[in-house]
Amino acid sequence: MPNSDLLPSLLQKLNENQPALEAAIMELSIWVEQHWSPGVAENVLGALDTIDRNEEFIKLTLAVLMTPE
């Protein structure tokens, strides 16, 4: 299998990881807020906002890249 054939699968797996990472970070943020520091949790939520803002662009770009010509 040529390396170029692996690119669509790689991009799909990276795309699948994004919501999983977001969910894990959210869980940690909730724990930190409850047990440690609301300020740190607020910073984490700010980073999650960046993920949310970029998510639609990433999905659209992957759809374009993975569409056969």
Note down pLDDT in tens along the chain; length 69 residues. 566 677 788 788 888 888 888 888 888 888 888 888 878 878 888 888 888 888 888 888 878 877 776
Q: Is residue 62 part of a domain?
A: yes
Cα four-point dihedral sign 53, 30, 15, 63: negative
Determine the 3-state secondary structure of 32 from DSSP: helix
Q: Is residue 55 part of a domain?
A: yes
Q: Is residue 6 part of a domain?
A: no
Q: Is residue 3 part of a domain?
A: no
Tell me which residue range forms the domain holding 51.
19-66
Question: In terms of pTM, does the model score above 0.75?
Answer: no
Q: Indicate the residue type of 20.
A: A
Contacts of 31 (CB under 8 A, 6+ apart): none
Instruction: Report the domain count for the chain.
Output: 1
Q: Is residue 50 part of a domain?
A: yes
Return the closest-CA partner of residue 28 out of 39, 50, 44, 49: 44
Determine the 3-state secondary structure of 67 from DSSP: coil
